[in-house]
Chains A and B, each alone.
Chain A
Amino acid sequence: MKQMKKHLSRVVAAAAMVLTMASFAPQAKAETPTFTVGWSVYAGWNPYFYMQKSGILKKWADKYGIAIKVQRFDYAASLDSFVAKNIDACTMTNMEALDMPAAAGVDSTAIIVGDYSNGNDAVLTRNGLTFATLPGKPVMLVQKTVSEYLLERGMVLNGQQAQLNKLKLINTSDSDIVAAFLNNKGNQAVVTWKPLVSQIVADKSVKSIFDSSKIPGEILDLLVVRTELLNTPNGQKFAKAITGAWYETIQQVAAGQANAIKYSAAASGDSVDSYKEQLKTTALFSAPAAAVSFTNGPDLQKKMDLVRQFCFTHGLLGQGIKSVDDVAILYPNGTIQGKKDRVRFRFNSAYMQAAQLGKL
């Protein structure tokens, strides 16, 4: 933003100079502030692709007199760009929001709680392996992500907490995890997400023993912006425009409108059927009212506490963080989880509320 302002003032100065030099010069058009949203492939985020294609985004951006660009990234790259402040907003899960931008000192605010994973992530095993027999067997997963979180929650909820440190994890890249798991019958267990899960369970010898529908609302998919943006008039316009565009888009997706589904599926190269199947296990908050009541509700704090404890015990908050309270979370009702002077991550339901009341 700072750079943009500098840029803007330079443009204005140049324009003023031209105007004084030649009074007949045409009126210089002030540059419209531009914002960039990064998104990555996931059932709950693919609609951003449709949002842009369909012109919904442009309609809302024009309404507020700004320009919004939507850019697709690899997930990790989108987070890197967001932390480096190259993009203004980014889709991410609640866990990454804590351990990437927030823990790196980039104060971040979730303005849209889009959905939660309701079965999209799953623990899959061969040979009837259960949580009791899992310890000691190699488990393939992308470590330090929601996959590991899901696995640990599964262990805890199945009474195997004491065995947690006996898990043998193999960090496996998501681009190769399907091939690596399926090609060798010796691999016993894998934790991953859809559509990879669907590809793996196509093999009949593999069964799902746990999935995210058993921990509803713990793996949240958010749109996160830098908090400093929300303190500027243009940033607020941006937040309003993207929220408005989101709810118009997601309601079309939830209503099953053909184009909305088709383009959202195309965003990740999925077939329409596969995308519909993924949507079934994605609990979309398609109505702003539902998102607002979830975000303002008391459950969110309990679930976030589980996530932040997980991040802390796994060192995801960084070497320098000595207490889980050093990365504090602010909720819409003013409650702070952690130290008051170290709020790094905020849930803000104001924009969703405005959408609910039709005030965007």
Chain B
Amino acid sequence: MANLSPFEIQARPNRLLMQAASCMLFVICMGLYMQTSVRRHHENPEDRVVPSLTQLAAGIHASVLEPAEEDDYIPADNASKWERFKHSMIVKDTISSGRRFLISLALLIPAVVLALHIGLYPWFGAFFMRFVLFFDKIVALSLLPILFIVFGIEEWSKIALIVIGVAPTMILDVTQMVKAVPQEQIVKAFTLDANNFDVAYRVVSRQIMPQVINSLRLNLKPMMLFLFAGEMIAASDGLAYRIAIMRRHMGMDVILPYVLWVALLLFLIDFSLRTLNRRMHPWFQA
């Protein structure tokens, strides 16, 4: 008889039970949603706050197969599903948001390199450390009017918002990792005739790389938050732009699929970073 006590550290539930337990909360959430939706539709058949399955299906259909309202593209009558999908609202929004996201991600690479230098070279530390510490505590969103002056209201202000919001935290985090590398290793490398750059790029950076990727994974969500904030403030396309527009007439039937889609995207990025980390650094345990 399997031990079913939840407070049993030695418990070894079988695979089926484990799977069932891990699905439980999903099922409960969906059940609660359905119940609320049915109850609200019973009171008001046109309720939009908690859309029913048919409304959601229509919303998904509109986002995946119909072009965005502001687009000039009109699909031909015989256009294939793929053709329609390529010009759909969600693809257009994902591409524009995705571009902003990836550019910001790329801009974090120099930040990591800088952090490596700050942690390793005393002069860099003296020059940057205090400022980054200070800057890290600045709430980036409150600087928006300044960002608008410097970067305009188009793409760059949104990217800048993400980078300014996330980079200082990343820099501080990576600096800590660099400092945690045992001093003995660095001394040893010097005795083996390494120069300063060898130590930085071949001893320290190799070791901290898996931690850096993990730190990045943790920062994916703040990045997405800043991206959403930026797109909601001023934009003419993007995932958060669409959500902001839909909110004006309670288009929850489109908003909910969008929210789930963003969650899926984030999960996939996180998953691929994790897989990459495991492939590249099989020696790393954490």
Q: How far is the CB of B63 from chain A (nearest CB, A)?
A: 10
CB-nearest residue of chain B to A102:
B46
- Of A83, A100, A104, A170, which is within 8 A of B234 by CB? A170
Q: Quick check: is A319 within 8 A (CB to CB) of the other chain?
A: yes
* Residue contact A100 to B249, C-beta cutoff 8 Å: yes
Q: Quick check: is A187 within 8 A (CB to CB) of the other chain?
A: yes
Q: Quick check: is B148 within 8 A (CB to CB) of the other chain?
A: yes
Q: Which chain A positions have C-beta within 8 A of B250?
A: 80, 83, 100, 104, 318
Complex Cα gap A100–B247 (Å): 10
Near B by CB (< 8 A), chain A positions 169-221 give 169-173, 175-176, 179-180, 183-184, 186-187
- Give the segment of B54-62, B110-118, B193-201, B211-219 that binds chain A: B54-62
CB-nearest residue of chain B to A327:
B46
Q: How far is the CB of B21 from chain A (nearest CB, A)?
A: 34
Q: Quick check: is A122 within 8 A (CB to CB) of the other chain?
A: no
Q: Which chain B positions have C-beta within 8 A of A145?
A: 248
Q: Which chain B positions have C-beta within 8 A of A83?
A: 48-49, 250
CB-nearest residue of chain B to A105:
B46
Dominant SS among interface residues on chain A = loop
Q: Quick check: is B222 within 8 A (CB to CB) of the other chain?
A: no
Q: Given A84-B49, A104-B48, is A318 in contact with B145 using a C-beta cutoff of 8 Å?
A: no
Complex Cα gap A318–B149 (Å): 37
Q: Quick check: is B173 within 8 A (CB to CB) of the other chain?
A: no
CB-nearest residue of chain B to A143:
B245
Counted as pairs of residues, one from A and one from B, with CB atoms less than 8 Å apart, the total is 99
**Residue tally, chain B, CB below 8 Å to A:** 34
* Residue contact B148 to A173, C-beta cutoff 8 Å: no
Q: Which chain A positions have C-beta within 8 A of B58?
A: 319-320
Q: How far is the CB of A302 from chain B (nearest CB, A)?
A: 23
3 closest A-B pairs by CB: A105-B46, A179-B145, A183-B149
24 pairs across A/B with beta carbons < 8 Å?
A99-B248, A103-B48, A104-B44, A105-B45, A105-B48, A138-B236, A140-B153, A169-B236, A170-B235, A171-B236, A173-B234, A176-B145, A179-B145, A180-B145, A180-B148, A180-B233, A183-B148, A184-B153, A187-B153, A316-B249, A317-B249, A319-B59, A319-B253, A320-B46
Which chain B residues have a beta carbon within 8 Å of chain A's beta carbons?
Answer: 44-49, 55, 58-59, 62, 69-70, 72, 144-145, 148-149, 152-153, 232-236, 241, 244-245, 247-251, 253-254
